[in-house]
Amino acid sequence: MTDANLLMKARAALKAVEAPGGDIVSCGAIEGLSATTGGVVRFTLNADKAGANAQALLERARAAVEAVEGVSRVAAVATAHRAQTAPAGGHANPFALDKKPRIEKAAQELAGVKNVIAVASGKGGVGKSTIAANLAVALGALGYRVGLLDADIYGPSLPTLFALSGKPDIVEGKIRPVEKFGVKSMSIGLLVDAERALAWRGPMVMGAIRQLIGDVEWGALDYLIVDTPPGTGDAHLTLAQSKRLTGAIIVSTPQEMALADVRRGVELFRKTNVPILGVVENMAWLETAPGEKTHLFGKGGAQAAARDLGAPFLGALPIEPDLRIACDEGVPIAFRAPGSTIAAALSALAEKIAARVS
């Protein structure tokens, strides 16, 4: 039930928050303001109307409403920028300028999520996103409740892998994940312009991760699989600092160079006390004739590296053209052809991971 009196008081409190074009109510940045008799106030901050520092404004707006007598909870979220032009001297970013990205607080929002698993790789192009997405679908097929968060800020792949497009729905101040292939998914690529995100550093990346974790309605899940950017950087540190990571999976191809990067990835997670659930070797061989394996990039490199690093080896996956085609067509192979050899291998990987977690 609407509390008209509280609604008026909340609007008045918001009018005291200054934005570049006047106060945030007058410049039209507040949308969907509501107040219930239970004291819950909800609103959306339109990032385009609010200006470049939407995240900082959101925090101020939230604080202003929280201070109103009778308010028990504030559910507020900033929408993504739609404008194509970046403001002078900066990059349009709904998550920007949040100087205190309270990642631990945001992570508390994952109360209903039992396990958060980061999928990482030393470098790009090794199949990290492919494995993260198919692993999520395979875990779903095993009967688990699964979420998939594409946090690869510098090259989100989920819009392609799951054929997702358009802005996500925001309901009662929360970003609603897209339910597809038995998985609840959300990609940074649906919220921001990927090209612009390439320039993000430090606080912007941290703010984005915080919002992806805290402001998406993940609900009750057994596993939240997080596809991280390649290499080791701010996104990984932020996730580790959330203190919610159950563990990390490292994906590598067998080559030496990739393996040097794997070592760096393992080190970062170890330093931040995140358990390494294991290393997966991808593109390990190509079946050139039935039963005949050609090890294009050398044999057993990732397994040997896992042993050196004291990390479990979770298994190897072949180069499988059907897997690549399914990725490009936006239907995960674990969903499209669950009976195929590659889908069975992915399912076995999912079972192994579930067993390691439990």
Q: What residue ranges bind ligand ADP (CB under 6 A)?
A: 121, 124-130, 157, 230, 282-283, 317, 319-320, 323-324, 327
Query: Measured between alpha carbons, how far is 78 from 43 in angstroms, rounded to an integer?
Result: 9
User: Nearer Cβ to ligand ADP, position 92 or 319?
Assistant: 319
Give the shortest CB-135-to-ligand ADP separation in angstroms: 11
User: Nearer Cβ to ligand ADP, position 21 or 321?
Assistant: 321
Give the shortest CB-11-to-ligand ADP separation in angstroms: 45
User: Nearer Cβ to ligand ADP, position 44 or 157?
Assistant: 157
Report the alpha-carbon angle 193-195-196, nearest 5.
70
User: Nearer Cβ to ligand ADP, position 129 or 211?
Assistant: 129
User: Nearer Cβ to ligand ADP, position 26 or 341?
Assistant: 341
Half-sphere exposure of 345 (CA within 13 A, CB side): 18
Give the shortest CB-60-to-ligand ADP separation in angstroms: 37
Report the length, in residues, of the chain: 358
**SS3 label, residue 151:** coil
Give the shortest CB-230-to-ligand ADP separation in angstroms: 6
DSSP secondary structure letters along 24-76: TTTTT-EEEEEEBTTSEEEEEE-HHHH-S-HHHHHHHHHHHHHTSTT--EEEE
The residue number whose beta carbon is nearest to ligand ADP equals 127
Query: Measured between alpha carbons, how far is 99 from 115 in angstroms, rounded to an integer?
Result: 28
Give the shortest CB-215-to-ligand ADP separation in angstroms: 24
Query: Measured between alpha carbons, how far is 229 from 66 in angstroms, rounded to an integer?
Result: 35
Query: Measured between alpha carbons, how far is 310 from 306 in angstroms, rounded to an integer?
Result: 6
Give the shortest CB-283-to-ligand ADP separation in angstroms: 5
User: Nearer Cβ to ligand ADP, position 256 or 328?
Assistant: 328
Query: Measured between alpha carbons, how far is 29 from 143 in angstroms, rounded to an integer?
Result: 42
